[in-house]
Structure 1
Amino acid sequence: MRTSLSKIPALSLLVVLTLTSACLGRDLVSVPPGNRNSEQPPIPNTSALRAKAFNTTYDEKYQKIVGVLRDDKDLMASIKKAAQAYQIDPIHIVGALVGEHTYNITIVNRVKSYYVKALAYSQSDFKFSYKDVTVQSFLKKPEFAHCDAFTGSAELWECRDETWDKSFRGKVIDGVTYENMTFQRAFFQPFFAGQTFGLGQISPLTALEVTDLVHSTSGLAKLSADDPQAIYRDIMDPDRSVIYIAAIVKDAMDVYKAQGFDISDNPGLTATLYNVGQPRRRALALRQAADAAGGKKLPEENYYGWLVNDKLTELRGLLGE
C-alpha cells in the first residue's frame, strides 16, 4: 500500500473538518461503476522490478490470487463475514486483495502460512523508529502539537502523516537530514525494505489509523505504537487482516461521502484508495477540484483500481454472483 497517486499538497485536517461540515448541505454525487480512464494508467516501475525479480508476470500473479480466492473457502467466508460487519459489498475486499497481490507482493500458496509469520513477529523484539529516534519521542516535537486536537485514531494519525510530509520530509532541520520518504517508510518498516505485511499488505500506520473503527465494530483491542508486536500480530493474522481491510475500505467510503461523493458502487476506486492511502487528504482535494471552475468532478482510479474494474465480472464470480 501507500504508493503515490499524485502530488497532493499537504492540507490541514482542521480544514478538512471545516469543509466537511460545509458539504453536509450538498447533494450527494453517486460515482458510477466502471473506469474513468479508457486505458490502464501507468504501472509504477517498482511493480515491474518486483515481478521481474521473482521471474513472474502480472498475469501470473493475478491468476494466483484469483486461484487462492476461488479455492480457499475459509478465506472467502471470512471476507463475506467482515463485509457484512462493516456493511460493505465483499467485492471491495476481493478487489483490494487482487490489486495487492497482482502488483505488489505475490500471495503465498497457503494463506494459513501467514499465521506462522504472525507468531514470529509477535515474539520479536523491535520498535518503530527513524535514525534511532522512536516514533513516540518524535511525535513530541512541536510541529505535531496541533494533531492532539483529534481524538479519533484515523484523524490523529493522518494528521501526523500529513505533518511529516509538510514539515520534515526531504528537509534538513537542526542539522538532521530527513529523507524524502513517507512517514510509513521512515518509522513503520522496522525490518527491511519490501518486507511482507501479510495477506492484506496492511502497513502498521494504516492499522493504527483504523484501530478505533476496528475496535468499535469487531471488538479487537485498540492498537498503539507502544506495542508494535500487537500491530504485527493483527496485520499478519489472515482472519484479522481481512477485518482491517474491511475497515480501511469502510473508512474511505465514509470520508468520501462526507465530502459529497458516494464511491460504494465502484470497487476500482476503493481499491485505488486502499493502494494509495490518505483518504481524507484526497477526498478534500477532490472536493476542492469539483468546486473549482473546470475542475475534476469525479474521482479516478489508478492502475491498481483500473484492473479491478476491468476484471469485475470475473471477480464477482468468485463471490458466487
Structure 2
Amino acid sequence: MRIGACFLAVALMLPGAAAWSADVVKVPPGNRNAEQPQIPGASYKRTKEGRTTFDDKYDKVRDLLKSDRALMSKIEATASRYGIEPIHIVGAIVGEHTYNVDAYDRLQSYYIKAASYAGNSFRFGYDGQTVDQFVNRPEFSECAGKDDSYSLWTCRERVWESDFRGKTVGGKSYPNNRFSAVFFQPFFAGQTFGLGQINPLTALKLTDLVHQKSGFERLDENKAGDVYKAIMDPDQSLAYIAAAIRKSIDEYRSIAGMDISGNPGITATLYNLGNSASRAAALAAKNRGRASPEWPEENYYGWLINEKLADLKSLL
C-alpha cells in the first residue's frame, strides 16, 4: 500500500465524529470526479521502465484474475471471513498491479517468490540498530500500554513522525522519511510485495486482526523473513488485504459517520494512501457544522476501480 500524491478531502487530523448527523450515512456509489485525478509521476516512470502501459497492465491483472478460478474462490472466501464484499479485494489487487507493479502471469509465481524469502536472516532496522531496539527508547513509552498490534504500531509510527523524522536526537540525525521506509525496507528494490503490495509495517499493524480472523501466526518484527513470506504468500496476503480494507471501513464509520462499504473506489483509494483513521478524522472535522456532508473523494487509483466496476464485478 504506497502513499499516493493525492489526498482524499482533507488536511489536518482532528478527533471527533461528524456533527451534522447522529446516524451513519452511506457514501453514494461512483466517482465524485468526472475525470481521473492526476496519476503520480512515479507510476508513469515505473510503467515506462517496464515498456508497457497502464491499459496493458490493467488487462494483464484482470486476465490473471479471470483465468484463475482458484484465486477468485480464495478472494471470495477471504472477503466473507472479514465481512466485506470481494470486489474491494479485487479493486486493491487491480489498482496495485495497474499503477505500482506488473502482475505475474501465474499465481504459482507468487507462491515461489514468497517461499524464497522464508527463513532468511535479514532484519528490519536502520544504521546498525534493529527496529526492536529503536522502539524500546524512552520516547516510545506512551505506546507500551497498547494491547493490540494495530494500536501499538500506529502509536510507534506517530512517535517517529513527531519526535524523530528529519530531526537530530541525542546527537544522531534521522531521515526525513516515513517510518516504514526507514526501518522496514531492507531491499533496494522496494518495500511492498505480493498480490496486495503490502509493506511490512502495515502487516505488523494488522497481524492481530489477521490472527483472529484467519488463524495465521502473529508476525514478529524480529523475524523479517516470516513477515515477507506472509505478505508475499497469496493465501496469507489476501487476509492482510482484507484486514486493511475492513479497518478503513470501520474507521470511516466510527470516526466520520460514513459507510464507505458500497463504494469500492473509496476503499481502493484508502488502500493506496493508508492512514485511514487520520483521513476519516479530517473529513469529520471538515463536515462539522455543515448542513449536508461533503463526501470522500477517490484518487487516481480509486477512480479507475469505480470506472471499471462493471468489468471487475463480472469476474466474481
Q: TM-score range by the shorter chain?
A: over 0.9
The offset of 1:248, in angstroms, is: 0.9
The equivalent residue for 1:290 is: 287
The equivalent residue for 1:247 is: 243
The offset of 1:296, in angstroms, is: 6.9
The equivalent residue for 1:111 is: 107
Aligned counterparts of 1:291 and 1:27: Cα–Cα separation in 2: 14
SS at match of 2:270: helix
The offset of 1:294, in angstroms, is: 9.0
The offset of 1:297, in angstroms, is: 2.1
Aligned counterparts of 1:31 and 1:133: Cα–Cα separation in 2: 45
User: TM-score by structure 1 length?
Assistant: 0.91
The equivalent residue for 1:50 is: 46
Deviations 1:144-195 (A, max 9, x none): 2212232121122112122212222222323322222111111111111435
The offset of 1:282, in angstroms, is: 1.4
Counterparts of 1:1-321 in structure 2, within 5 Å, are 1-4=1-4, 5-6=6-7, 8-9=11-12, 16=15, 19=16, 26-194=22-190, 197-259=193-255, 260-291=257-288, 297-319=294-316
Q: 1:295 to 1:152 in 2, by over 3 A?
A: farther
Q: 1:296 to 1:217 in 2, by over 3 A?
A: same
Q: Determine if contact 1:111/1:199 at 8 Å carries over to the other structure.
A: no
Aligned counterparts of 2:276 and 2:94: Cα–Cα separation in 1: 20
Aligned counterparts of 1:212 and 1:2: Cα–Cα separation in 2: 22
Q: Determine if contact 2:160/2:179 at 8 Å carries over to the other structure.
A: yes
- Relative to structure 2, which stretch is displaced further, 227-236 or 57-66? 227-236
The offset of 1:71, in angstroms, is: 0.4
Aligned length: 311
Deviations 1:77-109 (A, max 9, x none): 110010111111000000000100000011111
Deviations 1:194-253 (A, max 9, x none): 355111111111111111111111111111212222211111111111111111111111
Aligned counterparts of 1:174 and 1:83: Cα–Cα separation in 2: 46
Aligned counterparts of 2:278 and 2:150: Cα–Cα separation in 1: 12
Aligned counterparts of 1:148 and 1:29: Cα–Cα separation in 2: 36
Aligned counterparts of 1:262 and 1:133: Cα–Cα separation in 2: 42
Aligned counterparts of 2:217 and 2:50: Cα–Cα separation in 1: 37
Aligned counterparts of 1:294 and 1:37: Cα–Cα separation in 2: 22
Quote the RMSD (CA, aligned, Å): 2.0
- Relative to structure 2, which stretch is displaced further, 301-310 or 114-123? 114-123
Aligned counterparts of 1:116 and 1:196: Cα–Cα separation in 2: 16
Q: Which runs of 5+ in 2 are unaligned?
A: none
Structure number with the bigger relative contact order (C-alpha 8 A, sep ≥ 6) is 2
Q: Determine if contact 1:105/1:196 at 8 Å carries over to the other structure.
A: no
Residue type of the alignment partner of 1:37: N
- Relative to structure 2, which stretch is displaced further, 292-301 or 179-188? 292-301
Identity score, percent:
50
Q: Determine if contact 2:181/2:191 at 8 Å carries over to the other structure.
A: no
SS at match of 1:121: coil
Q: Determine if contact 2:191/2:200 at 8 Å carries over to the other structure.
A: no
Q: 1:312 to 1:129 in 2, by over 3 A?
A: same
Aligned structure 1 segments of 4 or more residues deviating by more than 6 angstroms: none
Q: Which runs of 5+ in 1 are unaligned?
A: none
Q: Determine if contact 1:249/1:274 at 8 Å carries over to the other structure.
A: yes
Deviations 1:105-140 (A, max 9, x none): 111111111112211111311110011211111112
User: TM-score by structure 2 length?
Assistant: 0.93
Aligned counterparts of 1:51 and 1:295: Cα–Cα separation in 2: 40
Q: Determine if contact 2:192/2:199 at 8 Å carries over to the other structure.
A: no
